[in-house]
Amino acid sequence: MKIKVYSWILASAYLLCGVVLFLVTLKFQPWLQQVFSEVGMTLPFLTRATFVVGPYGWLLLAIASGTFVILKDLRFHSRLLSPLFTFILVLWVGCMAIALIYPLTFLFRSSGLVAVVPTYNRIGCIFTTH
């Protein structure tokens, strides 16, 4: 039984995301919690959920996901599993980006440093800063 190149690439992407999320969460969590507690605000729900799992939990989840991606070629022969694992990876990266970037934009808006205001016209929504 042969493991496909796509599976190796996808497993590597899972591991890379897990290591990056481990490092970012390890450094970012104490700082962000301190800043929000000094301001007197609570963290957004998705950010709190990200921090509950912790850096080691995300690393273990990434290792397990990468292992499942490789094992699917050895044990389970389904054409739907590769797109499913790709979709899960994209969803995971998107949620983590929102969970870690949204609090920063929230702090900037609440402090008055940068305000992002949507301006609507006939074509669509244009974001401007004030």
Domain ranges of the chain: 5-129
Q: Cα angle at 111 between 21 and 39, to 5 degrees? A: 70
Give the pLDDT of residue 119.
52
Give the pLDDT of residue 27.
87
CA separation, residue 32 to residues 18, 39, 45, 48 (Å) = 20, 11, 14, 11
Identify the segments of the chain with pLDDT beneath 50: 115, 127, 130
Give the pLDDT of residue 9.
92
The reported pTM is 0.71
Give the pLDDT of residue 122.
53
Give the pLDDT of residue 59.
92
Per the CB < 8 A criterion, the answer to whether 116 and 105 are in contact is: yes
Per the CB < 8 A criterion, the answer to whether 69 and 10 are in contact is: yes
Give the pLDDT of residue 12.
93
| Residue 46: how many other CB atoms lie within 10 Å | 15
Give the pLDDT of residue 101.
85
